Amino acid sequence: MAAITAANHVKFGRLEKDLFQLSIDSALPITKKYGDAIDLAIFANAYGGQYNGLSGVNNRLSAELFDVPVPSLRIDNTSSGGATAIHAAKSIIQAGDARSILVIGSEKMSSVPTRQSSSIIASLLDPYERCSGLTLPSLAGFLARMYMTKYGSSRESIAQVTVKNHRNAMKNENAHHRKEISIEDVLSSKVIASPLTLYEYCPISDGSVSMLLSGDEFAQSISSKPVRISSSSISSDTAQVSLRDDIMQLGAVRASSSAALKQAGISTEDVDFAELHDMSSILELVEAEAVGFFQRGTAWKEIMEGSMDPDGSIPVNVSGGLLARGHPIAATGLAQAHEAFVQLTSQAGQRQLKDPHFAISVSMAGFGNSATSIVYEAI
């Protein structure tokens, strides 16, 4: 097994520092303290070339962070890159090829205009669907419209996801947006892809998160409060969304979360909180159903009843999620893991939940093209 033994999260937002310096800022506190125990560095980054004109950043980081540079590699799985890097690190540790691995997830997205940023992200779509005008925001809009039509959900219930996550982010010092908003604010903001509005999509963010993963036999010697990664699983779906039987199914999310829970030997009833990939408001509801927290078509009722609030039956995105914490693409999976780490070690400050033991994160690449689910356990 493997455990998270240290973690560091820089504040997300539109930041002045470049990709390299953001990565140094998040990783250096860990390497200063534990550098001698680290055998490998994994750098998760999706768009360093397109946004920043950089390549080979993993080698530069290793040379800067260690007295004797350790082997390094870069992982790209778009929005699921950070979680995929954790999965890879866990697998390498379990294979016995490393004692401890430094995982860094970083993205610098504010360096280009918004229209160019949207084009860069859209490059992950199937070329035929992209040529027809599909974008990730428009797919979310289609999903919201289909969900409302099929299940009779109220428009306000979808907007409530944004309201909840912004309220949660008020207590997260690392969040991009720390401003409480109302349902009226959400519904009156600019329509991006009908029926969804500006506040129902995650912001363009810069940021970096780093963490140290260690084998169980080394974890206790490094940290008095490690968090075990009980399981992790990656699943994929068709790259062409139009070929799926039902885009509301999010098959990759369902498959990866089901496999991760089974590997950990627990069910959704054992999970104390979840970090889900709310690139848009509707996705949190559909993913909560795909994981199995609620029956299909009922999450919209549950959020209005407070079930996903910090004091609800299954707290979701206590960190503020992508909608408010921000979504620096490859850093997001690590930000989710960071929330699991601080909650399970009682270091979450004002947003600390009461005695959590198990958590799950779901990080999604593309529009459900791939999903990585991780189960965390307090030791």
DSSP calls for 19-76: HHHHHHHHHHHHHHHHGGG--EEEEE-S-HHHHH----HHHHHHHHH-SSPPPEEEE-
CA dist., res. 327 & res. 209, Å (int): 12
How confident is the model at residue 122, as a pLDDT?
87
- Domain assignment present for 58: yes
**What is the token pair recorded at 177?**
């947006």
Contact at 8 Å (CB) between 22 and 208? yes
**Successive 10-residue mean pLDDT values, the chain, 379 residues:** 96 97 98 96 96 95 96 97 98 96 98 91 90 91 97 98 98 97 98 98 98 91 92 95 89 98 98 98 98 98 98 98 98 98 98 98 96 97
Contact at 8 Å (CB) between 34 and 6? yes
How confident is the model at residue 159, as a pLDDT?
98
Q: Which long-range contacts (CB under 8 A, 24 or more apart) does 297-303 make?
A: 297/147, 297/150, 297/151, 297/153, 298/151, 300/147, 300/151, 300/153, 300/154, 300/157, 300/158, 301/153, 301/157, 303/157, 303/160, 303/161, 303/164
- Domain assignment present for 40: yes
Contact at 8 Å (CB) between 28 and 244? no
Contact at 8 Å (CB) between 196 and 338? no
pTM comes to 0.97
- Domain assignment present for 37: yes
How confident is the model at residue 115, as a pLDDT?
87
- Domain assignment present for 92: yes
Q: What is the CATH number of the domain that holds 16?
A: 3.40.47.10
Residue 203: cis peptide before it, omega within 30 degrees of 0 = no
- Rg (the chain; Cα; Å): 19
- Domain assignment present for 307: no
- Domain assignment present for 267: no
- Domain assignment present for 212: yes
End-to-end Cα separation, the chain, in angstroms: 12
Domain that holds residue 37: 2-112+204-222
| Number of neighbours of residue 216 by Cβ within 10 angstroms | 15
| Number of neighbours of residue 152 by Cβ within 10 angstroms | 10
- Domain assignment present for 296: no
Cβ-based neighbours of 81, under 8 Å, separated by 6 or more:
44, 45, 46, 75, 105, 329, 330, 333, 365
CA dist., res. 139 & res. 157, Å (int): 19
| Number of neighbours of residue 190 by Cβ within 10 angstroms | 7
Question: Alpha carbon of 321 to those of 200, 277, 316, 362: distances in Å?
Answer: 12, 7, 8, 11
Pairing of strands 370-378, 72-75: unpaired
CA dist., res. 28 & res. 375, Å (int): 26
Number of domains in the chain: 1
